[in-house]
Structure 1
Amino acid sequence: MKCTIHGAVVLSRPPEGPLAAYIAPFARSLSEQGYREGSLKQQVRIASGFSRWLEQTGVGVRSICADHAIRYLRYRTRHIRPRRGDRAALRHLIDFLHLEQLTPAEQVVSPRLSSTECCVQAYVTYLREARALATATIVNYVPFVRAFLNDRFGQGRVTLSRLCAGDVVRFAQRQAPRMQPKCAKLLTAALRSFLRYARYRGDITLDLSAAVPVVANWSMPSIPRGIAPDQTRQLLASIDRRSGTGLRDYAILLLLARLGLRSGEVVSLELGDIDWSAGRLSVGGKSAQRNELPLPADVGKAIATYLIRGRPRSTCRRVFLRARAPITGFSGPSGVGSVVRHAIQRAGIDAPTRGAHQFRHGLATEMLFHGASLSEIGELLGHQHPQTTTIYTKVDIKALRTLAVPWPGDVQ
């Protein structure tokens, strides 16, 4: 006797086994996450087959673990031709059972951390909770700090009170010459940060951060590579806004171009951050600071159109959601970078880069060209230090040569 699950999946017989009562709720959960009918059918049929196998092997709901999923896939392969997505379907089912507290969370035995790793983890906690630094900054600092501690203490116990200026100088002098200037400056910044942390803890009394050598490097060595205004207009015009994905991408690109937001700021934007009546946007910037920005009419219209006509139904509070299941916010800034990269490729534009930051540079350069002050530019871009904004005052000599008037007469 056939059985229909969630009005979409037809099984040759009703579900059997310990998971029979949970197949329909599982299907409903998948539907709410935005999985399409084809994927929904595959996952429900896998779950039904898994439940029958559990009954045959005498495994109850409370005993299910990831190992049972692996064993079932091996069993299934001997009887049915495997399909792409079978393993993911079972993983979704196991996650659903854990989420519904039907199966106990698996106990993962963590390996014992070394003395160096314990010190690094404590430093990471300090950066995240006390300093509220961005995840990207923490990720950049940690490898240098770990290398410094391993260089000084090896596999032994880390005793920060034994550090001296010579340790710091020797490590920096050995490592910096092998690196590009930008990477070497990041190394010295990480060392200063860690040594200030060690002093904050009371492990050292001297300010060893002052012993970190300064990496020789020209201030503002390169000119920001900003996308040109006509390229931005061409890119926006190329977006197909007849689909939900197109409406989303258009709104994202407008935010980048008109407000100069960072990728991470676009990703973390939530529905409650938009004050429609006041026409303002609250943006979470670096170091957990929030910037209040005016919401231009065209940007507000693009976001509103996406929310009304293009955004999938979801309990997620993020403004911009993935186009494919599971329907949730982007996992990180790379999601916005992917939107920019594919849009530029489709439009066939010879942009300075394929990244999202070029819109930020392009906006700042255009504002400066039209007479905006550095303080105004810095306020819009959320710069914490005025020196960060001064990079846009650099002149592109190569571009200016194309505008130079030939000198009259022959060269003497």
Structure 2
Amino acid sequence: MQNSSLPSGGSFGPLSPYIKPYLSQIRTQGYAARSIKDQVCALKMFGRWLQRTGREVRDLTEAVTSDFFKGRYRQYAATAALRRLLAMLRRIGATPAAKTARPRPSEQLTCAYERFLLKERDLSQETVTCHRRFVRRFLSEKFGSGPPNVSNLRALDVTAFVQRHAHRHGPAEAKNLLAAIRSFLRYLHYRGLVDRDLSLVVPKVACWSFSTGPKHLASTQVRQVLHHCDRSTAVGRRDYAILLLLARLGLRAGEVVRLNLEDIDWENARITVCGKGGTWAQLPLPTDAARAIARYLRRDRPRCASRRVFLRNKPPLGGFNHGGAISRIVKGALAKAGVVSARKGAHLLRHSLAMDMLRRGASFDEIGEVLRHKCSKSTAIYAKIDLQSLRTLALPWPGGVR
């Protein structure tokens, strides 16, 4: 959509000088021509309303946009367009920055805890986000909207919270809950906000090591999933390249999300992966995965300022926000292939790669090296399913088989 295709007749009121920069922004973000037309119409109505009510661009706030929608049908396109416009105007200094309300005391405590985890503990943003969710719930239930008088916390408060919530989650998520509460209580003691280290009273969740084996697909099922991926569309070719990285290298979902263009060494057929804890590793790039990625980059990847290899297919264009998007791609691929599995996330293909290597005779050390396990216990879970190797360790039944 060119500038000449803007609706004619009338002006955008005080917004007129900012329409071209706005259009340039949303075109770069990949919005379709129909969407751009709807946004332009919304901005024209809003600009004329500003002119009628005697408002200037410097007066714009969220409250002003809410006044505009009073008595009007609030369409999503119009709401989103005004939100993007206001963000752009603030970014270029045409509108004053939003006035941020002073955070509540509980929010101040949570933010200080987050900064501690990020800067002092060097935890990943994903881990901090997980901790924040449980800590906010803990503070909300104990103190409500009032000030968090953490000095009044008692052991019973902690155990009661755990008893109310732990049973609502699976073992893994329950362990995350307990780890978050335990970490937060240690932080309070470290800061001198509580007299005793209440982390010692956080109970443990019943989760026995190696009680269950990792869910995985047979090699034939992995091939079936890859075969049914629709490579006739741009999205399908992107998903096929992602699935190959998961199946051939056992990458984690977050590692695929964080993969940048400069992380691929085409001459030496290697990729650099940012793994858990910010650790970096170089891995060989399989031929079929390299071809799929190259085809996606040449033919299908939209032009975008983002350096991420894989981009969302909907505007605003950019990389995926989190690993959940990769797991949804795997879930969709399983459904298309008609493959039934108890687990449907990205880790399913990681486990499948490990089991396929085990069946082909790879040692646990070799599997751990490919999957980049820091601890041998992480690889030991696959021994539970390697029945052939376990039979060699079994003692004969007393008296023989009858």
TM-score range, shorter chain: 0.7 to 0.9
Cα distance in 1 between the residues matched to 2:36 and 2:157 = 60
The one-letter code matched in structure 2 to 1:175 is V
Cα distance in 2 between the residues matched to 1:361 and 1:209 = 33
Q: Superposition pairs for residues 250-329 of structure 1, below 5 Å?
A: 250-329=240-319
1:374 corresponds, among 359, 364, 367, to 364
Cα distance in 1 between the residues matched to 2:289 and 2:194 = 51
1:33 deviates by: 0.7
Q: Superposition pairs for residues 7-46 of structure 1, below 5 Å?
A: 7=4, 9-46=5-42
1:328 deviates by: 0.9
Cα distance in 2 between the residues matched to 1:233 and 1:207 = 52
Cα distance in 1 between the residues matched to 2:86 and 2:138 = 41
1:215 deviates by: 4.5
- DSSP 3-state at the match of 2:214: coil
Give the TM-score of the pair, scaled to structure 2: 0.84
- Quick check: 2:241–2:289 contact (8 Å CA) kept in 1? yes
Deviates most, 348-357 or 319-328: 348-357
Give the aligned partner of residue 46 of structure 2: 50
- Quick check: 1:65–1:106 contact (8 Å CA) kept in 2? yes
1:103 corresponds, among 79, 95, 116, to 95
- Quick check: 1:352–1:358 contact (8 Å CA) kept in 2? no
Q: Superposition pairs for residues 210-229 of structure 1, below 5 Å?
A: 214-229=204-219
1:237 corresponds, among 227, 240, 247, to 227
Give the TM-score of the pair, scaled to structure 1: 0.82
- Quick check: 2:171–2:207 contact (8 Å CA) kept in 1? yes
2:162 corresponds, among 175, 200, 203, to 175
Deviates most, 281-290 or 212-221: 212-221
Q: Superposition pairs for residues 333-344 of structure 1, below 5 Å?
A: 333-344=323-334
- DSSP 3-state at the match of 2:69: helix
1:181 deviates by: 4.7
- DSSP 3-state at the match of 2:105: coil
Q: Among all aligned residue pairs of Structure 1 and Structure 2, give the percentage whose two residues are the same amino acid.
A: 43
Give the aligned partner of residue 67 of structure 1: 63
1:35 deviates by: 0.5
The one-letter code matched in structure 2 to 1:26 is Y
- DSSP 3-state at the match of 2:224: helix
- Residue by residue over 1:208-245, the C-alpha shift from the partner in whole angstroms, topping out at 9 and shown as x without a partner, is 76665555542121111112211111111112222221
Q: 1:286 to 1:298 in 2, by over 3 A?
A: same
Q: 1:210 to 1:389 in 2, by over 3 A?
A: farther
Q: 1:90 to 1:151 in 2, by over 3 A?
A: closer
- Quick check: 1:365–1:392 contact (8 Å CA) kept in 2? yes
- Residue by residue over 1:155-213, the C-alpha shift from the partner in whole angstroms, topping out at 9 and shown as x without a partner, is 66334xx98xxx55984488359636545544543455345545655778998766655
Q: 1:94 to 1:384 in 2, by over 3 A?
A: same
1:127 corresponds, among 77, 99, 117, to 117
Q: 1:203 to 1:385 in 2, by over 3 A?
A: farther
1:388 deviates by: 1.2
Deviates most, 135-144 or 259-268: 135-144
- Quick check: 1:43–1:86 contact (8 Å CA) kept in 2? yes
- DSSP 3-state at the match of 1:129: helix
Cα distance in 2 between the residues matched to 1:357 and 1:53 = 52
- Residue by residue over 1:115-168, the C-alpha shift from the partner in whole angstroms, topping out at 9 and shown as x without a partner, is xx5444333222222222233433443455567778999966334xx98xxx55
Cα RMSD, aligned residues only: 3.2
Give the aligned partner of residue 94 of structure 1: 86
Q: 1:224 to 1:169 in 2, by over 3 A?
A: farther
1:324 deviates by: 1.2
The one-letter code matched in structure 2 to 1:382 is R
Cα distance in 1 between the residues matched to 2:86 and 2:230 = 38
Cα distance in 2 between the residues matched to 1:48 and 1:119 = 44
- DSSP 3-state at the match of 2:150: coil
